[in-house]
Amino acid sequence: MQVHVLRLVPGDDLRVSLEAAFAALAKEHGIQAACIVSAVGGLSRAVLRYADKSSGSDINAPLELLMLSGTLSPDGAHLHASVADEHGEVKGGHLMPGSIVRTTAEVVIAMLPGWQFRRELDAATGFNELTVRGR
């Protein structure tokens, strides 16, 4: 396992930045699988989608990023986030593009040599689901 630490800055799109960072690291190191180890920070906007919905819920407010987990692959990411507002109310779901860093986002990514993650359409769910292969 190779560990990489990213610090995103105000205005960065959290999901788009993570996918771009993975693409660059994957190309540089020849790796096709990664996962999020840890992430904390602040967002000014979160777009979270729930599994049975076609679009995301937009939360425009100062938010604390409490948790981010998921997998990264050459053909997509599957990321879940939990965020809290100033009253401590927590919301979570699939992290979508448009989730914007407010202060910082400190993200630890584990690159997984020897593994290949892919996203393939699953007839049972109708979604692109993770497939895993050893390399």
Burial class (CB in 10 A: 0-12, 13-18, 19+), 44: middle
* Residue entry with tokens 């993570």: 18
Whether residue 129 is predicted with pLDDT greater than 80 in this model: the reply is yes
The CATH class of 2-134 is: alpha beta
Nearest to 31 by CA among 6, 56, 1: 1
pLDDT at 29: 92
Mean pLDDT (whole number) for 100-120: 96
Q: Domain map of the chain by residue range?
A: 2-134
In sequence order, the 6+-apart residues with CB closer than 8 A to the CB of 6 are 17, 18, 21, 105, 106, 107, 108, 109
Instruction: Write out pLDDT tens, residues 15-24.
Output: 999 999 999 9
pTM of the prediction? 0.91
